[in-house]
Chain A
Amino acid sequence: MSTRTALVANANPQGNRQYSRLTALKYVFLGVYALAILYPLFFLLISSLKDNDEIFSNPWGLPIKWGLNVYYQVWTQYEVGRYFFNSLYYSLLSVAITIFICSMASYAIVRMKWKLSKWTLGFFLLGLMVPVHSTLVPLYITASKLGLNYPRITMIVIFVAFAIPFSVFVLAGFIQGIPKEMEESGVIDGCSLPKAFWKIIFPLLAPPLATITIFNFLGSWNDLIFSLIFINDEYYKPIQLGIMRFQGNFSTRYSFLLSAIVIAIVPSVAAYMVLQDKIVSGITAGAVKG
């Protein structure tokens, strides 16, 4: 009883004033934290537009002469443009393949009737726990036997394979919720089952496929370890590997490295802005069920 009165006493007007002071404190904290995220990014951006002299003489202010041509130089002369399109090629193609094979596989696992379907799902999900590192040596040995001559195919196959466990996990969960009458109506109209799948079920998968697209795109775009091991030809380097070349001669011109970093994160930021809710829901799905 006495604790109860104590708690009620807390709800008096004085408590209210305390409450609003608390709110102000929260905003201060949030503001400082947001600044700690945004200011380094802003500093990176403005510094990338300055030449070395100005980085020393005017570290805090906006650039005096806007040296946008460093971006042009890095993009063309230093081949960041090619790295960029290599990455785009690996990421987009592997995402497209993942979407096709994973939606078929998930459908077969959830809807079709065969003995090992549950076991197969478990086998796919096991992949969520395999650390990348324990696959590297055997994969490298296999790839070097095949001659390392097809770096593009190697990268895409690896990105697709590592995208499968999460994608099947998300898709299988979603397909379970689709009413069975959907494809039955298609089959009754005379479609074959594969045709009914592509015409009726596949279009319904748009929400989980958006989640899969953004996660796997970021996964391949941001990869370092696989490209480090499987690509030694300058011509095939993806962006993350490519921009590391500027670290070596960092001090010759700081803005080379800085502008390359900016170029490398632009697609991530763009993808995030377009599909932010999908990212949040993907993490949530993984966290709640996993």
Chain B
Amino acid sequence: MERLLRNKTTILMFILPALIIYSIVLPLPAVSSVYFSLVEWNLIDTMRFVGLDNFSFLFLYDDVFYAALKNTFIYLLLSIALQLPMAFFLAIILSKAIKGRRFFRNVIFLPVTFSGVAVSLMWYFIYHSEVGLVNRFLEAVGLGFLKHSWLADGSTALYAVIICVAWQFVGYHMVIYMAGISTIPADIVEAAKMDGAGEWHIIKHIMFPYLIPMLKVSTILMTTSSLKSFDNIYIMTQGGPNHATEVLASHMYTKAFAQMEYGYGSALSTALMALCISATVLLNRLFRRDDFDA
């Protein structure tokens, strides 16, 4: 048996298909995109090595990049502010063996399984200035004067997209927290109740500390997915009006694939990758301080 498990041919036969496909599609391009960020190339003319020129243009002259950076951070912070407390609150309510627990969990999770395209197109309809649900509702309750073309106005478009994303993903984070709550030993909660601890007391002193690792994971997920967000913006606003909803990924897409500046697009994607990695490292540090090592 030992001999069979050391057989080189079998090992290669088992590992190579996955290893080859994975390597040529993920790590290799990710590394070579750092190289492409140092060139100027439109795929037709000869490739020109320009050193750090792409990055100096990016940081010194690209106003759209700064607009995109600002919008991405608004998107990131508001997404966390909307989704985290709501998901936490729902998870706590649903962690008890209350009637209909499964039903509510399933309904709230349902939109997570939808595509970004379908959800965005649906909300495009919901925000529509004439036939949309939002304006229709405002009119029906007598607040017709608040009617608005939510996605066409630069001052509301980004927030409209953020709400749509929260609608879709609160359920995802709720499920993570529910999983965390289910790992809390029942006797601890029982003991606290015996001592007469109220509900709020149990949430604050027992559930919250136990959930810190889950809060870490979900915060990291919300952060990286917000930094990378593309689908909703691309469909609902295309980054407009006048870059009011431009985010890093949409700017990168436009540069690389609409304007065919592949080198510059790579510089943008490299910046995006650097942001994702540093955000992950930073959040890991931040949470380690008061981690309970559960």
Q: Does A193 contact B (CB under 8 A)?
A: yes
Name the prevailing secondary structure of the A interface residues: helix
User: Do A129 and B276 touch (CB < 8 A)?
Assistant: yes
Report the stretch among A70-78, A205-213, A282-290 that lies at the interface.
Answer: A282-290
Q: Chain B's nearest CB lies how many Å from the CB of A238?
A: 10
Give Cα distance in the complex from A276 to B112, angstroms: 12
User: Do A139 and B104 touch (CB < 8 A)?
Assistant: no
Which B166-223 residues sit within 8 Å CB-CB of chain A? 167, 172, 175-176, 179-180, 183, 195-199, 201, 213-214, 217-218
Our pick among A112, A144, A284 for the contact of B11 (Cβ within 8 Å) is: A112
User: Do A135 and B25 touch (CB < 8 A)?
Assistant: yes
User: Do A26 and B93 touch (CB < 8 A)?
Assistant: yes
Output the nearest chain A residue to B257 by Cβ-Cβ distance: A229
Q: Does A22 contact B (CB under 8 A)?
A: yes
Our pick among A101, A142, A264 for the contact of B117 (Cβ within 8 Å) is: A264
Q: Does A118 contact B (CB under 8 A)?
A: no
By a CB distance below 8 angstroms, the chain B residues around A108 are 10-11, 14-15
User: Do B179 and A105 touch (CB < 8 A)?
Assistant: no
By a CB distance below 8 angstroms, the chain A residues around B270 are 134
A222 and B114 contact, Cβ closer than 8 Å, known pairs A114-B6, A287-B214: yes
Which A192-223 residues sit within 8 Å CB-CB of chain B? 192-194, 197, 218, 221-223
User: Do A161 and B26 touch (CB < 8 A)?
Assistant: yes
Q: Does B118 contact A (CB under 8 A)?
A: yes
Give the top 9 A-B pairs by smallest Cβ distance, nearest first.
A161-B25, A222-B115, A138-B29, A7-B196, A105-B18, A108-B14, A284-B179, A135-B29, A240-B117
Output the nearest chain A residue to B105 by Cβ-Cβ distance: A280
Interface 1/0 per residue, B1-30 and A, CB below 8 Å: 110111110110111011101101111111
User: Do A244 and B17 touch (CB < 8 A)?
Assistant: no
By a CB distance below 8 angstroms, the chain B residues around A168 are 18
Output the nearest chain A residue to B111 by Cβ-Cβ distance: A37
Our pick among A105, A129, A141 for the contact of B14 (Cβ within 8 Å) is: A105
Q: Does A64 contact B (CB under 8 A)?
A: no
Output the nearest chain A residue to B182 by Cβ-Cβ distance: A284
Q: Chain A's nearest CB lies how many Å from the CB of B42?
A: 11
Give Cα distance in the complex from A133 to B274, angstroms: 12
Q: Does A225 contact B (CB under 8 A)?
A: yes
Give Cα distance in the complex from A142 to B32, angstroms: 11
Q: Chain A's nearest CB lies how many Å from the CB of B128?
A: 8
Which A27-69 residues sit within 8 Å CB-CB of chain B? 27, 29-30, 33-34, 36-38, 40-41, 43-44, 47, 55-56, 59-60
Q: Does A178 contact B (CB under 8 A)?
A: no
By a CB distance below 8 angstroms, the chain B residues around A247 are 121, 124, 235
A135 and B33 contact, Cβ closer than 8 Å, known pairs A109-B15, A120-B15, A129-B280: yes
Our pick among B27, B93, B116 for the contact of A127 (Cβ within 8 Å) is: B27
Which B246-261 residues sit within 8 Å CB-CB of chain A? 249, 252-253, 256-257
Give Cα distance in the complex from A102 to B10, angstroms: 15
User: Do B5 and A111 touch (CB < 8 A)?
Assistant: yes
Output the nearest chain B residue to A30 by Cβ-Cβ distance: B104
User: Do A283 and B4 touch (CB < 8 A)?
Assistant: no
Q: Does A104 contact B (CB under 8 A)?
A: yes
A240 and B118 contact, Cβ closer than 8 Å, known pairs A10-B196, A131-B273, A138-B32: yes
Residues on A facing B (Cβ under 8 Å): 4, 7-11, 15, 19, 22-23, 26-27, 29-30, 33-34, 36-38, 40-41, 43-44, 47, 55-56, 59-60, 100-102, 104-105, 107-109, 111-114, 120, 123-124, 126-127, 129-142, 144, 157-158, 160-162, 164-165, 168, 184, 187, 192-194, 197, 218, 221-225, 228-229, 240-241, 243-244, 246-247, 250, 254, 257-258, 260-261, 264-265, 268-269, 271-272, 276, 279-280, 283-284, 286-288, 290
Q: Does B149 contact A (CB under 8 A)?
A: no
- Given known contacts A104-B13, A280-B179, what 17 new A-B pairs fall within 8 Å (CB)? A34-B108, A56-B131, A107-B14, A112-B6, A113-B6, A135-B25, A135-B29, A136-B29, A137-B29, A141-B36, A144-B43, A194-B10, A224-B117, A241-B117, A260-B121, A271-B113, A290-B217
Q: Does B269 contact A (CB under 8 A)?
A: yes
User: Do B113 and A272 touch (CB < 8 A)?
Assistant: yes
Q: Does B262 contact A (CB under 8 A)?
A: yes
Output the nearest chain A residue to B34 by Cβ-Cβ distance: A134
Supply 5 A–B pairs (Cβ within 8 Å), ascending by A.
A8-B195, A100-B17, A112-B6, A130-B273, A284-B175
Q: Chain A's nearest CB lies how many Å from the CB of B99?
A: 9
By a CB distance below 8 angstroms, the chain B residues around A22 are 199
User: Do B136 and A279 touch (CB < 8 A)?
Assistant: no
By a CB distance below 8 angstroms, the chain B residues around A257 are 121, 125
By a CB distance below 8 angstroms, the chain A residues around B104 are 30, 33-34
Q: Chain B's nearest CB lies how many Å from the CB of A64?
A: 17
Give Cα distance in the complex from A109 to B27, angstroms: 19
Output the nearest chain B residue to A5 by Cβ-Cβ distance: B196
Q: Chain B's nearest CB lies how many Å from the CB of A9?
A: 8
Q: Chain B's nearest CB lies how many Å from the CB of A40?
A: 6
By a CB distance below 8 angstroms, the chain A residues around B201 are 7
